[in-house]
Amino acid sequence: MKITVNENQETYPLIKIFDFNEGESCFLYDARVNTILSLSLEEKEIVLSHMKIGHFECKATKKEEFVKKLNCSGFLIKGNAIQIKEPTFLNIDKIMEEAKFNAIPKKLVLELTNNCNLRCTYCGYTINEKKKQGKSHGSNVLSLKNAKRAISNYLLEYTLLIDKLQDHNDLLTHNPPNISFYGGEALIVFGLLKEIVNYIKEICKNYDKIKYDDILISLTTNGTLITSEIADFLIKENIYVSISLDGPPIENDKNRVFRNGKGTGKIVENVIELLKKKSINYYKNRVKIQAVVAPNYNHEVVGDYFFQKSTDGKFSGANLFEYLEYTDFSPSKNNDEHKVNSNISDNSFIDYINTFDYKSLTDEDLLEKLTFYPAFNNRLTKIFEFYNRLSNNPSIEIKKFNTCYIGKTQLFVDCQSNFHLCERSDFSMPIGSIENGKDLSKIRKMYAEYLEVMNSTKCKNCWVFNFCPICIGMLIKEGRITTPSNDTCVDITNFTSVVLKDLLIIITFYPRIFELMMKSYNTNDKLFIEYNNKDIAQTQ
Q: How confident is the model at residue 537 (pLDDT cuts 50, 70, 90)?
A: very low
Mean pLDDT rounded to a whole number for the chain: 86
pLDDT at position 521 = 78
- Within 10 angstroms of residue 115's Cβ, the number of other Cβ atoms is 17
Question: Is residue 183 within 8 Å of residue 112, measured between CB atoms?
Answer: yes
pLDDT at position 534 = 31
Q: For 45-59, 380-394, 422-436, which range has the lowest pLDDT when averaged over its residues?
A: 45-59
Q: Choose among 428, 433, 441: nearest CA to 411.
A: 433
Burial of 371 (0-12, 13-18, 19+ CB in 10 A): buried
298: left (phi over 0), alpha (psi -120 to 50) or beta: beta
pLDDT at position 89 = 78
Q: State yes or no: pLDDT of 28 exceeds 70.
A: yes
Domain locations along the chain: 3-72, 244-345
Q: CA 419, 421, 426, 429: dihedral to nearest 10 degrees?
A: -60
Q: State yes or no: pLDDT of 170 exceeds 90.
A: no
pLDDT at position 409 = 93
pLDDT at position 48 = 86
Those residues with Cβ within 8 angstroms of residue 490's Cβ, 6 or more apart along the chain or in another chain: none
Distance CA 8, CA 196 (A): 57
Triad 102, 521, 244: Cα angle to 5°: 85
Give the residue-averaged pLDDT of 146-168. Answer: 92
Calculate the alpha carbon distances from 180 to 108, 215, 290, 507 in Å: 6, 10, 16, 38
Give the residue-averaged pLDDT of 417-421. Answer: 96
pLDDT at position 56 = 52
Q: What is the pTM of this model?
A: 0.88
Q: How confident is the model at residue 53 (pLDDT cuts 50, 70, 90)?
A: low
318: left (phi over 0), alpha (psi -120 to 50) or beta: beta
Give the residue-averaged pLDDT of 235-259. Answer: 97
Q: Is 40 helix (H, G, I), strand (E, B) or coil?
A: coil
pLDDT at position 266 = 98
pLDDT at position 400 = 53
Express as a percent the part of the chain with pLDDT over 70.
86
Give the β-pairing of 25-30 and 35-39: antiparallel
State phi, psi for 354 to the nearest 5 degrees.
-75, 0
pLDDT at position 15 = 93
Distance CA 350, CA 289 (A): 26
Top pLDDT among 287 and 134 is at 287
Highest mean pLDDT among 234-238, 393-397, 524-528: 234-238
Top pLDDT among 33 and 301 is at 301
Give the residue-averaged pLDDT of 521-531. Answer: 57
Residue type, 295: P
Triad 342, 344, 350: Cα angle to 5°: 115
Q: How confident is the model at residue 82 (pLDDT cuts 50, 70, 90)?
A: low
Using one digit for the tens of pLDDT, what is the confidence trace for 119-145? 999 998 888 888 877 778 999 999 999
Q: State yes or no: pLDDT of 346 exceeds 70.
A: no
Q: How confident is the model at residue 341 (pLDDT cuts 50, 70, 90)?
A: very low
Top pLDDT among 342 and 215 is at 215
Using N-to-C axis directions, what is the helix angle for 511-520 and 374-389, rounded to 10°? 90
pLDDT at position 502 = 92
Q: For 128-132, 190-194, 298-302, 413-417, which range has the lowest pLDDT when averaged over its residues?
A: 128-132
Radius of gyration in angstroms for the set of CA atoms belonging to the chain, rounded to a whole number: 25
Question: Is residue 104 within 8 Å of residue 527, measured between CB atoms?
Answer: yes
